[in-house]
Structure 1
Amino acid sequence: MSKVKTNNLLTPAQAAKDLGISVATLRKYSLIVEKTTANSKYFERNSQNNRLYTQKNIEDFKEMVKLSHGPKMTLETSAAQIYPAADAKEPTDTKQNDEIADLQKTVAKLESENKKRELTIKELQQELNDAQKSKEQLQVELDTLKQQAEEKVENNDTKKDENIKERVNEKVNDDKKGHWWNKFMG
């Protein structure tokens, strides 16, 4: 036991206690790490072949558990992010390459859809501009028609006034001629 303390190595019971988990759970974590690293001797062992843990191992376990709580994460995927993998790296690269290719296809598809939307927006903007120009032209025509209508009303009023004046003058002139004293005066 004194040898363990001088090397700062923790027994499974001590490590489990530090992590707040059972020894069986610690064994599970250790197996995951050994599988991920493809190294069955990743952890030091004592003469009874029990795993011994460093403080760094404890911190790595805590980080692995913390990462595993993220979306779409497991203890295995978390371990793959923390511990260097030997042979497991190649399939991960292939998987990552496939994921990258899929993402690139998705990005290309989204860019294509975005370009189509931009064209649609430009077409709609052009239609809107055309409609606005038509509206302005119609407004000018409406204003012209209103002005012409007002001028007609004024002209008709003026003509009516002139017609009334002419009739009054005619009547007055007729009256002047028609009266008996005008015949004598005239």
Structure 2
Amino acid sequence: MKNVSGQEYQTPRQAADTLDISPQTLRAYSGLVEKTTGRTDYFQRDQNNGRLYSAQNITDLAQVNQIKKEHSKTLKDAISEVFEQQIIKSAEAADSTAATLPTAAATSATPQVSDDSLAPILYTLKQLTDQNAQVVTQIQQLKEQLDETNHNYEHLVKAIEVRNTSMDVASQAAATSSAAVVSSAASATSNTTSQAAKPNSASSLSMASSSAITVPKKSFWSRLFNHD
């Protein structure tokens, strides 16, 4: 509890515990109350410009929370219903309402708009969203490149298979042709040898026949006197 000008106020933590809500929820309620009523100085402030909550503030916020839960209304509608009179008075006589606050609090209070505090968060969220979109785009591009690479690889494998098959067929054809040439050459050689052997046989026979013819021997007297 804090005492300001003789009046007791609860800190945000104490007020949140009393209302059985989180400090973040209390901060959101308080910011929307100030925005709806058009008074940024609706709550008392401490020397660090933090909100302080009076007993009446606690009662009003508890009623807002109850209406919101039991009647399924939005927070803004519940605040408008609870603070209707304050809103009307603020619109008609804002200066007179502000005069009822303690002088020290009025001089130390500075206007705050809850939307301003959300601006950095919204900006950060936008940056994260943009970065996420860029990452998704990059992933899609990488997927397309990978698909193209796989497609090219399959074509390359098929081309290699076709080339290997062609080479095998060519090798078999070359082997068959070589075998045919060798067989033909062997046959020609055999024929030539056979033909060459026949004249030699005839010659041998002729020589044999010639050698078989005997020349009559001359008599001693013929040879002596050289008479036939």
- For normalisation by structure 1, the TM-score amounts to 0.48
- For normalisation by structure 2, the TM-score amounts to 0.41
